[in-house]
Amino acid sequence: MIIVITPYVELNDWHIKRLCTIESQIVGVILRTPMDGQQLKRWTIQLLANGFPKSKVIMHTDLALAIELGITNVHFKEGDSRAAMLKKKCPHYQVSMSTHSAAMVREAKTQQLDFVLFGHLFPTASKPEVPPRTQTEITDVLAIEFPIVALGGVTADTVHQVASHFTGIACISSAFGHELQQFDKMTQKWRLKKVE
Grade residue 130 by pLDDT with cuts at 50, 70 and 90: confident
C-alpha span between 121 and 105 (Å, rounded)? 15
Domains of the chain: 2-195 (3.20.20.70)
At 55 the three-state DSSP class reads: helix
Looking at residue 20, what is its pLDDT?
Answer: 98
C-alpha span between 105 and 46 (Å, rounded)? 34
C-alpha span between 57 and 66 (Å, rounded)? 9
pTM for the model stands at 0.95
Provide φ and ψ at 28, rounded to 5°. Answer: -175, 165
DSSP-assigned beta bridge partners for residue 150: 118, 169
Q: Report the first-to-last Cα separation within the chain, whole angstroms.
A: 15
| Residue 143 buriedness (CB in 10 A; 0-12 / 13-18 / 19+) | exposed
> CA angle 14-95-180, nearest 5°?
25
Give the other-Cβ count within 10 Å of 117's Cβ. 23
Give the closest residue to 147 by CA, choosing from 119, 162, 167. 167
Grade residue 194 by pLDDT with cuts at 50, 70 and 90: confident
Q: Tell me: the pLDDT tens digits for 147-165?
A: 999 999 999 999 999 999 9
C-alpha span between 133 and 50 (Å, rounded)? 38
At 99 the three-state DSSP class reads: strand
Per the prediction, the chain carries an average pLDDT of 95
State the number of CA atoms in the 13 A half-sphere of 178 facing the CB. 19
Give the closest residue to 28 by CA, choosing from 47, 67, 2. 2
Which amino acid would we find at residue 157? D
Grade residue 196 by pLDDT with cuts at 50, 70 and 90: low
Q: How far is CA 49 from CA 34, 99, 161, 176, in A?
A: 22, 32, 37, 20
Whether the predicted pLDDT of 125 surpasses 90: no
